[in-house]
Each structure stands twice: as C-alpha cells, then as structure tokens.
Structure 1
Amino acid sequence: MPTTLRHFLLVACLMLPACSWLAPPPQVRGNKVDPEQLKELTPGTSTKADVTAVIGSPTATATFNDNKWLYITELTQPRIGRTLGVVDQNVVELTFDGKGVLQQISDRPAKDALPVSVIARTTPSPGTEASFLQQLLGNIGRFVPAGTGGASTTVGGGAPGAP
C-alpha cells in the first residue's frame, strides 16, 4: 500500500469520530419519569392526585382499564435521511385500585415490547371506483380559467350591486 494512501486512511479514521459533534443530540419524547420522583410515591397510600402532582399526567391509560396509567419515554436521534432512530425506550406502569389508590409501580424496558405488524390496505367503499374514462374526463369544466378570477356578473350584464 502506498504511503500517501496509508496516511490518508489514518487521517480519515482519526477524523471520523470528530464528526459526531455535528450530529444533533438525542431528544427525549414522551413523559420521562425521574426515578427519584418515583420514590416519593408509596403504593397503598398515594392517590391519583398525588401521582399527577409528583410526576404529571400519564402519556396514556390502558385501553380497557382507566386504573392503569402508562408513562412512555423514547430517546430518539436523527439518522441518515432525517429518519428517527430509537436509542432507548421505557414505560413506567402505575396500577390503581377502584378508589384511585396506587397499588403497583412497574418499569417496562424496551426488551418487553412486542412487535406490531401494520397491514397496508384500504377498505373499499362502494360507488367510489372510477373507470379510466371517468378519471380522464372527470375534471373537465371544474376549474375557472386563469385570469378571470371567478368573478360573477349579474343577469343583464350590469355591474354587481348596480340598480
């Protein structure tokens, strides 16, 4: 390998980590719950009002159970093409009894997440299928020609509002 190429590769390898300061910092999304604040809550005595005062309102509640509050946090960082990559995620789950008293605090890390598959299809609705000719000729006469401004005239050709 020529000496200049070796020097170039060495300099490139040394410069590559220096580019990381150009990258935007990670962003916290959702409700990040501080572990120190969680220590202020006591299962069996803290109420929903206490929880809201200490750590704020939940990100979501369970679908069929209003007594299960979820605090969802995601740490994201922009990647190639401005897509967001998830660096870390966490869910804190608080369970209340029927009277609104805190019963349990659970921490759910990213490894507990389940994959969700999205189905990419549409629901057909009757009467909306247009033929090729309908699609081709459908917009004829719909638009006002440029320059006319869509001004209306009165019957008889007079100016609008004139007697």
Structure 2
Amino acid sequence: MRGVVLGVALFALAACAERIRNHGYVPTDDDLSQITVGVDTRDTVEEVLGAPSTSGVADASGFYYVRSQFRHFAYLEPKEINRELVAVTFDGDGVVQNIERYGLEDGQTVVLSRRVTTNEGDGDGILQQLLRSLGNFVPSTL
C-alpha cells in the first residue's frame, strides 16, 4: 500500500513539472552576417536565411522571422517567456534596406476589438422563422 501511495505521489509531482516549448525560427547572428544591406535581394535572403515566418502584408516590404518560448506549468495557462523577431526590410526594388532584431520587451500589447453582428430578430431560430412565414403566404401575390 505504501508503494502505491508513493507511486501516485511521484506521478502527481511529475505531472507538475515545468515544460518549455519553442515555436518558430530566428536566424543566428552568423547567418545574418552573410546578408549585406544594399546588396542582397529577397531571393538571396530567402536562400541564406530560409523562408520567413511571415512577410509584409500590404506592400510585401519585409520578411519577418519570429520565435517564441512558452512555459507550461501544471494546470496554469501557458505563459510566453521569450520572443525574438528579426525584421529584414526591402526597398522598392527588393534590395535589403535594413535588418533589425526585437525582443519581447520591445513588443506592445494590441487590443483586438470584437465586433459581433447582432440578430435583429426576436430571438427565434431559423426553423421557427420559416414555419412562421408559411402562414403569411398569399397565392394571389404570385
């Protein structure tokens, strides 16, 4: 009996162990040193650094490499403990204009607004609305 209790206690303790998970990819300083500002293009950057995590949406002005580390502990919500972002920006001709590195401390919280379309009906479901409209049918209006 003592062995079973000890086993359950060890299992519960192991379940509370901290786990660190990595997401994404950020090029090393050695990789970034191979890129020359004003000389290299989008194609050479992608060849040396690999495909970016994302790129500029509006005008495709840059490549962004993002890596995050999350701490998972027991039943608590995962917490982001580290984030790195390398931004490679290009000019209008697709030549490297700048390379910048940002960390979690450089980030800003962006509040997303949630807009929900309200139903102007009286709360009835689609089936109730369809059945109610059957009574309003007048053959002479066809």
1:77-136 Cα deviation digits (max 9, x unpaired): 2124263211100111111112211111011111221112233552224458327xx5xx
Residue number among 48, 55, 65 corresponding to 2:59 in the alignment: 65
Partner of 2:105: 111
Q: CA deviation at 1:75?
A: 1.0
TM-score, normalised via structure 1 length:
0.59
Specify the alignment match of 2:88 in structure 1: 94
Pairs within 5 Å for 1:1-163: 23=17, 25-81=19-75, 83-120=77-114, 122-127=116-121, 129-130=123-124
Larger radius of gyration: 1
Which aligned segments of 4 or more residues in structure 1 are displaced greater than 4 angstroms? 125-128
| Structure with the larger RCO, 1 or 2 (CA within 8 Å, 6+ apart) | 2
Deviates more, 1:118-127 or 1:27-36: 118-127
Say which SS state the counterpart of residue 47 (structure 2) adopts: helix
Q: Distance in 1 between matches of 2:74 and 2:17?
A: 11
**Over aligned residues, Cα RMSD in angstroms?**
3.1
Q: TM-score, normalised by structure 2?
A: 0.67
Give the aligned length: 117
Structure 1 residue 32, shift from structure 2 partner:
2.2
Distance 1:64 1:40 in 2: 27
Compared with structure 1, are the counterparts of its residues 82 and 33 closer, same or farther at alpha carbon in structure 2 (3 Å cutoff)?
A: farther
Aligned residue number for residue 152 of structure 1: none
| Percent of matched pairs sharing the same residue | 23
**Which residues of structure 1 form unaligned runs of 5+?**
1-18, 135-163
SS of structure 2 residue aligned to 1:107: strand
Amino acid at match of 2:62: K
**DSSP 3-state at the match of 2:110:** coil
Where 2:97 maps in the other structure, the secondary structure is strand
Where structure 2 has 5 or more consecutive residues not aligned to the other structure, the ranges are 1-12, 129-142
